Amino acid sequence: MPFLLLLLLTLACLPDPQDRTHPPDWLGDRGSMVVTWASMIAVAAIAWGASWRLRRKLAANPSCREEVLRRYASARFCNVILLFIAFGLDLFAFGWGYVASEPLAKEMPAWLPVIEVLILAPFLAGLILSWAIFYEMERALHASNGPEEDARPFWTRRTYVWFHIRQNAAIVFVPVLLLIMVKNVPRLLPEGSERWQEIAAVLAPVGVLAVMPWIL
């Protein structure tokens, strides 16, 4: 799964703006934006529904905990697959990559490398929102372990989400961040300074790797 996530995020960041899929004429730039964010909200809503049903089942019959665990694992897997499919369609069918890198990014200061961040924002928001939703299910499973486990305090929602962010940052987001830095740092330098752009392209990922131990 981390490999698929890394592949999707890399495909989202790799193309240059002029090479990205344009939104269909019937949809337009604004429609592409609405569809993209709506698809992420829809996936999160499906996650909430699955979590709610499983929590109700566990509360009604704690003895079926093993069955709930299996269904919960399937729900988490399906949630990630739905995120992949939805965001892939947003990028390659509805033109979100173009909308984020052209109309939206042009409104930002030229010195600010925001294209890839804007492209990834809906997917990352959907992923983090799904983690926050599944927290309730994790807490319910923790409470169903028995009096001994229930006596131990479970993580707060913030701690739970931050744990997943750190875990995925180490595996997936660091390589993607390196790609973003290599692409964007040279853009900050004036045209005609090819040598300095090459040096910046080398030093940027080194700087990212240097500060990652303090972030993670």
Over residues 95-145, the pLDDT tens digits come to 998 888 876 666 665 545 577 778 888 998 999 999 999 999 999 988 887
> Cα–Cα distances in Å, from 34 out to 26, 39, 41, 99, 125?
13, 8, 11, 11, 14
Over residues 162-187, the pLDDT tens digits come to 998 888 776 666 666 666 666 666 55
Report residue 21's pLDDT band, with 50, 70 and 90 as the boundaries: confident
Residues 6+ away with beta carbon under 8 Å from 96: 23, 32, 33, 35, 36, 90, 119, 122
Task: Please tell me which residue, 117 or 43, carries the higher pLDDT value.
Answer: 43
Tokens found for residue 113: 């490398």
Structural contact between residues 36 and 94, judged by C-beta atoms closer than 8 angstroms: yes
Q: What is the mean pLDDT of residues 9-13?
A: 68
Percent of all residues in the chain with a pLDDT value above 90, rounded to a whole number: 40
The amino acid occupying position 67 is E
Report residue 20's pLDDT band, with 50, 70 and 90 as the boundaries: confident
Runs of H (alpha helix) within the chain: 2-13, 28-60, 65-92, 96-99, 115-143, 147-151, 157-168, 174-184, 194-215
pLDDT of 215 above 50: no
The amino acid occupying position 47 is A
Q: What is the CATH number of domain 2-168?
A: 1.20.1420
| DSSP category for residue 104 | I
Q: Where are the domains of the chain?
A: 2-168
Report residue 74's pLDDT band, with 50, 70 and 90 as the boundaries: very high
What's the CA gap between 9 and 68, in Å, rounded? Answer: 31
Task: Please tell me which residue, 80 or 172, carries the higher pLDDT value.
Answer: 80
Q: Three-state SS for 153?
A: coil
What is the pLDDT, as a whole number, of residue 184?
A: 62
Tokens found for residue 63: 């003895």
Task: Please tell me which residue, 99 or 201, carries the higher pLDDT value.
Answer: 99
Q: Three-state SS for 22?
A: coil
What global pTM score does this model have? 0.77
